[in-house]
Chain A
Amino acid sequence: MTGQSIVLAADIPFPPSVEDFYLPSILPWGAHDNYWFTKLTALVWLTTALIIIFFLVSYRKPQLVPTKKQWLAESVYGFVRNNIAVEMIGPAGVRFAPYLTTLFTFILLNNFWGIVPLVQISPNSHIAFPAFLAIISYLMFIIVGIRHHGVVKYFKTALIPPAPWFILPLLIPIEFFSNFLVRPFSLAVRLFANMFAGHMLLLVFTLGGFAMLNANAWFLPFSLLSWVLTIALTFLEFLVICLQAYVFTVLTASYVQGALADEH
């Protein structure tokens, strides 16, 4: 075994565990079991700041012939408005385009930290962030539905399917469970699990390379292969990142559409 690999691998914890998602505290610096301000908190604030600054700067002096920045901002907004909001909800969807765009960019950028070199963890790999986004979507589609139909009619449309009366007692609990319990849960868990698994996967392949070197210097080729795969998986992660941001936004739009829909 070469000396260097021992030094590199000496304190490599393998296999990675959930503990690896709890990063050291920044404020107060280095405190134990204190998670009020960690790298994740900093990343979420940074994301928010970046989005606000980007959209403000690129749209401060809008030109008829757009600049590059303006073009990018307009493309993102136009994409969400035309391909998600209007596509899913219909003409009434334009109202929701600003919120959906915010949601989309926020999730996309937060996810993206998962593959930025040297940052490489996404705040969304902690369930708290997706859970809160899901709660917002959940409250939004219920409130939108209540404002559109009124309380009684909204819950009537949402809970009572068009079916003969004797089968309704069987169906109403299913409707309730699927519309009001599963939806926020599945929204949150889908995003969280994807980001969590992605981070875990990259950890396994990176640390696995070191662990193999640590075991036997002759495993160097396998270690190298493992690191090459890490890079390949990073590109796969990029796909997952974009897809999950899109799916979250599309499903939110779809729930809003369901809340606005009239009875069949």
Chain B
Amino acid sequence: MTGQEPPKNPHGDDGQQPPDTGMGMTAVSYLIAGMLVWGGIGWLVDHWVGTRGIFAGIGAVVGMAGGVYLIVRRLGA
């Protein structure tokens, strides 16, 4: 198989398109990352302000929205 030439044009176009294999992982990691980052920041704000979790909740929702937006922009195009 080494003697065989590697496929020159595996995707039938300019060969720069990322294949689908990594995309599922990327999407999941964006969703989780969004929730954790902004949820965590909200949790810190909660501690600082003295509220009991309202900012963590808001942060998680906002982060999730950001994650969805990122998936659309990065993977949907």
Interface positions of A (Cβ within 8 A of B): 74-75, 77-79, 81-82, 86-88, 90-91, 94, 161-163, 167, 170-171, 173-175, 177-178, 181-183, 186, 250-251, 254-255, 257-258, 261-262, 264
Contacts and interface: CB of A to CB of B under 8 A. Distances in A.
B77 A264 contact: yes
* Most A Cβ at <10 Å: residue of B3, B22, B38: B22
Q: Interface residues of A: mostly helix, strand, loop or mixed?
A: helix
A174 B33 contact: yes
A174 B21 contact: no
Interface of B: 1-4, 6-8, 10-11, 15-16, 18-19, 21-22, 25-26, 29-30, 32-34, 36-38, 41, 62-63, 66-67, 69-70, 73-74, 77
B74 to A, nearest CB: 6
Contacts of A82: 1, 4, 6-7
Nearest to A70: B2
B70 A74 contact: no
Given A87-B10, A182-B29, A171 B70 contact: yes
A182 B33 CA distance: 8
A173 B38 contact: yes
A162 B18 contact: no
Given A74-B1, A88-B21, A264-B74, 14 more contacts: A81-B2, A82-B6, A82-B7, A88-B19, A90-B15, A90-B16, A94-B6, A163-B73, A177-B33, A178-B30, A182-B32, A250-B22, A257-B22, A258-B18
Contacts of B16: 90, 261-262
A170 B37 CA distance: 10
A127 to B, nearest CB: 19
Contact of A90 (B10, B33, B69): B10
B18 A261 contact: yes
B63 A174 contact: yes
Nearest to A264: B77
B55 to A, nearest CB: 15
B50 to A, nearest CB: 24
A90 B22 CA distance: 14
Contacts of B36: 177
A170 to B, nearest CB: 5
A76 B2 CA distance: 10
Contacts of A251: 22, 25
B7 A171 contact: no
A183 B1 contact: no
A161 B66 CA distance: 11
B2 A74 contact: yes
Given A82-B6, A162-B73, A170 B62 contact: yes
Nearest to A162: B73
A243 to B, nearest CB: 13
Given A173-B37, A178-B33, A182-B33, A78 B4 contact: yes
A73 to B, nearest CB: 9
